[in-house]
Each structure stands twice: as structure tokens, then as C-alpha cells.
Amino acid sequence: MFFKLFKKSFKNKPLQSKKTKKTKSKLSETKKKVTEKKIGVVTHYFPKVKAGVVKVMGEPIKIGDRIHIKGHTTDFKQKVTSIQINNKSVLKAQKSEEIGILVKSRVRIKDIVYKIDTDKNKGDNYEQKKSKK
């Protein structure tokens, strides 16, 4: 009798494999076009404070940008939360400047830093939010 009740309770439930197929198709439709541009190279790493020194060689980098750091053994993405030039915090760094940024993982010399652009029409959201306050 217990087996009959147990068997009935599972008859009306849908299979999980059907649900996962639906969610995967929805995710593929909502993906944005992602492009990465090379913006710099890591020149030094400070392990105690988890900060890396980056020589900016491409377009400017600002707080709030998403970056991808890739090297021989390094490969991670993060959002830029802090930028310093000569121990002074700045909002933006131009080409040919050496900056210090906080990183979530160890970086090595000669690792390449890429800027992630998800939408080309996006604009400067960080400065727009700050000016509204």
C-alpha cells in the first residue's frame, strides 16, 4: 500500500530534464555580444595587499569597468573597484600611466589586461550615476 501511494505522488511531477532544456534555451537568447580589448600589461604584484601594477597601453580604464586578466597560469574576470596613481586614488587612468588596482587573485608579470565591453552603446554609467547624487 505504501508503494502505491509513493508511486502516485510522482506521477504528476514533471521531469527535471525538461526544465533544464527550457532554461538553457532562454539563457542563450539573452546573451549579449562580448568584446575584449587589450588595455595593458601587469608589471608588478604586491601579495600582502593583493594589488597589481598595470601599465595602461590602450584605451583609458575607469572605476566600474569589467576587466579580464589572462596569462600563462592566470585567468579571471573582475570589476575595477580601486585605482591608484602614486598612492592617490583616481577615478580614471589614461594611456601610458602605471596604475595600481586591487585584484581578487594573484597576477604575474606580463599578464595581459583586457577591458570587457558587453554593449558598445553603453556609455559612462559610473559618472552618470555619480552626477545624479
The full set of domains in the chain, from first to last, is 35-119 (2.40.30.10)
Report residue 20 as a C-alpha cell: 533544464
Q: How confident is the model at residue 2 (pLDDT cuts 50, 70, 90)?
A: low
Length of the chain: 133
Q: How confident is the model at residue 118 (pLDDT cuts 50, 70, 90)?
A: confident
* Paired strand residues for 92: 62
* Paired strand residues for 67: 78, 115
Please name which of 72, 56, 55, 66 lies closest in space to residue 115, comparing C-alpha atoms: 66
Q: What does the pLDDT read at residue 11? A: 54
**pTM of the model as a whole:** 0.66
Note the pLDDT tens digit of each residue in 28-75: 555 668 899 999 999 999 999 999 999 999 999 999 999 999 999 999
Q: Can you tell me whether residue 129 is helix, strand or coil? A: helix
